């Protein structure tokens, strides 16, 4: 453990960062990376390199790496042409740099770059410098406020760590973190993975105390046996969520030109995922939602599911999704039915899904959430439609009669109630150690006015799925991983 953690310390926790290719031109990659490090508040020292020594963002630069005091920088971010990078690495090694992120392209993904990439790796080994990339977009490490990237975004701190063979898709994961508030500890676009392979990052994340869940996009696996071994060790401790591109013939051609990746047979890869407990999704958004749920919700003990809905149609569709996903849509327990009978009028559904049919009063929904989560025959709950009353409150606010005619009183009540329901769901989930996944299209459609339902879910540190189908697919993945972990524990004993 200590060896792998120490190996990656200069990359993710550097004392100082050298940035090459910095200038006064705001469109140059080196300048952008330098700006982002400053703007996001990097906690270490910065050493911008400009051959003429001109200022950048009103700050002095260094004409050469030789001017940098020894022992002050651990990481170099290379944005210079591939032809000069080997010389720059030699200079960096003399100052004590032990890790390099190579943003430069023109290596293994290009027709004439394979030999240059081999030399880069050989030089890194000779100098004792761990090389990330080349042909990568950058990396972040939120615990040291480091955004060493040639593009946005920079997500909030959080328990998810990302490794991606696509820079744009690394950005997509981080954008979802920014959207929902469940952010990242680390993220890296590993580019061609010439030296540090995707498996190396996963091995590190598996041991990293700041990482609760790993999230990966990959197009190819260089050493399949090592990937399987690393994944198995990782999933025995923490969830690993993977999206794979290049599974069709067209996708394979695109992957080859994108990162130079060689894609293995997808049927074999799917089998490895099942055997090693990897959570595989088809899309980026579902991968993020799965990772966020793993990071913020208790694992379900089994598949027994209750659906709690504020409207009938959502419950019907989500029931179908629940059965199709292999979850158990259990009959509503008789004692739970009897208790709810005392709380609402007789028109409620009296079945699973639980639809109160508008009969709830001020405290009913938090009380029902508590009853469901406390019940021993229930493993998980999907709560549908939060924010619908806050949506009407927003229409009141936009109309011509606000705040008169009692609209302000009822509108602010609805807004406070939807926030309360979100917090009550998280409280019941944590108290009883059961996942309560919340789904509402208002996660997106209500974002423009910060609908208090999804906003309350964000406040509680969790994510609102945009539909019942998405929440069910996430829950099914959680159940599958929970079963895998149970088998691991059984084999250990």
Q: How many domains does the chain have?
A: 3
Q: Are residues 244 and 107 in the same domain?
A: no
Q: Are residues 136 and 172 in the same domain?
A: no
Q: Are residues 289 and 315 in the same domain?
A: no
Q: pTM of this prediction?
A: 0.94
Q: Which of 296, 311, 337 is the last residue of a domain?
A: 296
Contact partners, residue 27, CB within 8 Å, separation at least 6:
none
Q: How far is CA 148 from CA 77, 105, 140, 200, in A?
A: 7, 16, 6, 20
Quick one: pLDDT at residue 400?
A: 98
Q: Are residues 243 and 309 in the same domain?
A: no
200-204 average pLDDT score: 98
pLDDT at 491 over 50: yes
Given CA atoms 199, 200, 203, 209 in this order, what sign does their dihedral have? negative
Task: Identify whether 492 is part of a domain.
Answer: no
CATH code assigned at 235: 3.40.50.261
With contact defined as beta carbons under 8 Å apart, do 22 and 8 qualify? no
Task: Identify whether 489 is part of a domain.
Answer: no
| Lowest mean pLDDT segment, chosen from 132-146, 234-248, 393-407, 470-484 | 234-248
Quick one: pLDDT at residue 327?
A: 98
Q: Which of 296, 331, 365 is the last residue of a domain?
A: 296
427-443 average pLDDT score: 98
294-298 average pLDDT score: 98
Q: In what order do the strands lie in the sheet with 279-281?
A: 146-149, 138-141, 184-189, 157-164, 213-218, 240-244, 279-281
Q: Are residues 217 and 309 in the same domain?
A: no
* Neighbouring-strand partners of residue 131: 100
232-259 average pLDDT score: 76
Task: Identify whether 488 is part of a domain.
Answer: no
Task: Identify whether 493 is part of a domain.
Answer: no
- Omega before 403 within 30 of 0, i.e. cis: yes
pLDDT digits (tens, 9 = 90+) for 247-282: 765 545 554 444 444 446 888 899 999 999 999 999
CATH code assigned at 86: 3.40.50.720
Q: Are residues 251 and 369 in the same domain?
A: no
Quick one: pLDDT at residue 310?
A: 87
CA 19 and chain centroid, separation: 27
Q: Are residues 211 and 304 in the same domain?
A: no
Q: What is the residue-wise DSSP string for 25-89?
A: -TTSHHHHHHHHHHHTT-SSEEEEB-TT---BTTB--BSSGGGSPTTS--EEEE-S-HHHHHHHH
Task: Identify whether 161 is part of a domain.
Answer: yes
Range of the domain at 181: 153-296
Q: Are residues 250 and 330 in the same domain?
A: no
Q: Which two tokens stand for residue 289?
A: 């939602």
The average confidence (pLDDT) of the chain is: 94
Q: Are residues 322 and 469 in the same domain?
A: yes
Distance separating alpha carbons of residues 158 and 204, to the nearest angstrom: 17
Q: Are residues 307 and 342 in the same domain?
A: yes
Q: How far is CA 395 from CA 4, 145, 285, 421, in A?
A: 55, 40, 29, 20
Q: Which of 150, 173, 192 is the last residue of a domain?
A: 150
pLDDT digits (tens, 9 = 90+) for 377-415: 999 999 999 999 999 999 999 999 999 999 999 999 999
């Amino acid at each position: 453990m200590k060896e792998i953690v120490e190996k990656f310390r200069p990359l993710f926790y550097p004392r100082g960062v050298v940035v090459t290719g910095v200038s006064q031109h705001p469109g140059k990659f080196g300048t952008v990376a330098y700006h982002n490090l400053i703007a996001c508040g990097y906690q270490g020292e910065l050493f911008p390199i400009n051959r003429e020594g001109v200022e950048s963002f009103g700050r002095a630069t260094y004409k050469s790496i030789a001017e940098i005091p020894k022992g002050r920088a651990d990481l170099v971010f290379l944005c210079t042409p591939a032809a000069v990078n080997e010389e720059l690495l030699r200079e960096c090694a003399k100052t004590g740099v032990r890790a390099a992120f190579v943003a430069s392209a023109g290596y293994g993904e290009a027709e004439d770059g394979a030999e240059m990439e081999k030399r880069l790796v050989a030089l890194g080994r000779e100098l004792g410098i761990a090389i990330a990339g080349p042909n990568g977009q950058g990396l972040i490490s939120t615990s040291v406020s480091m955004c060493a990237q040639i593009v946005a975004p920079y997500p909030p701190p959080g328990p998810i760590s990302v490794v991606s063979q696509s820079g744009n898709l690394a950005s997509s994961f981080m954008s979802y973190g920014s959207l929902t508030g469940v952010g990242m500890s680390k993220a890296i676009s590993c580019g061609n993975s010439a030296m540090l392979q995707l498996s190396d990052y996963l091995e590190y994340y598996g041991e990293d105390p700041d990482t609760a869940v790993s999230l990966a996009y990959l197009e190819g696996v260089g050493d399949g046996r090592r990937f399987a071994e690393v994944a198995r060790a990782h999933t025995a401790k923490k969830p690993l969520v993977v999206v794979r591109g290049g599974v069709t013939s067209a996708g394979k051609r695109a992957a080859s030109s994108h990162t130079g990746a060689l894609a293995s047979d997808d049927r074999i890869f799917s089998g490895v995922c099942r055997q090693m407990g990897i959570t595989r999704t088809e899309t980026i958004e579902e991968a993020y939602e799965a990772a966020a749920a793993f990071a913020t919700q208790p694992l379900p003990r089994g598949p027994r599911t209750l659906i709690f809905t504020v409207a009938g149609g959502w419950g019907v569709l989500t029931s179908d999704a629940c059965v199709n996903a292999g979850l158990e849509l259990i009959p509503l327990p008789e004692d739970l039915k009897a208790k709810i009978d005392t709380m609402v009028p007789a028109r409620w559904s009296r079945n699973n899904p639980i639809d109160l049919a508008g009969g709830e009063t001020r405290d009913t929904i938090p009380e029902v959430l508590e009853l469901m989560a406390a019940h021993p025959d229930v493993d998980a709950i999907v709560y549908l439609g939060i924010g619908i009353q806050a949506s009407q409150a927003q229409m009141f606010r936009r109309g011509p009669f606000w705040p008169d005619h009692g609209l302000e009183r009822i509108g602010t009540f609805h807004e406070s109630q939807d926030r309360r329901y979100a917090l009550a769901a998280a409280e019941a989930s944590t108290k009883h150690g059961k996942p309560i996944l919340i789904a509402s299209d208002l996660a997106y459609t209500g974002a423009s006015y910060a609908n208090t339902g999804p906003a309350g879910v964000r406040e509680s540190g969790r994510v609102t799925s945009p539909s019942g189908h998405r929440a069910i697919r996430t829950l099914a993945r959680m159940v599958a991983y929970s079963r895998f972990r149970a088998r691991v524990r059984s084999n250990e004993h």
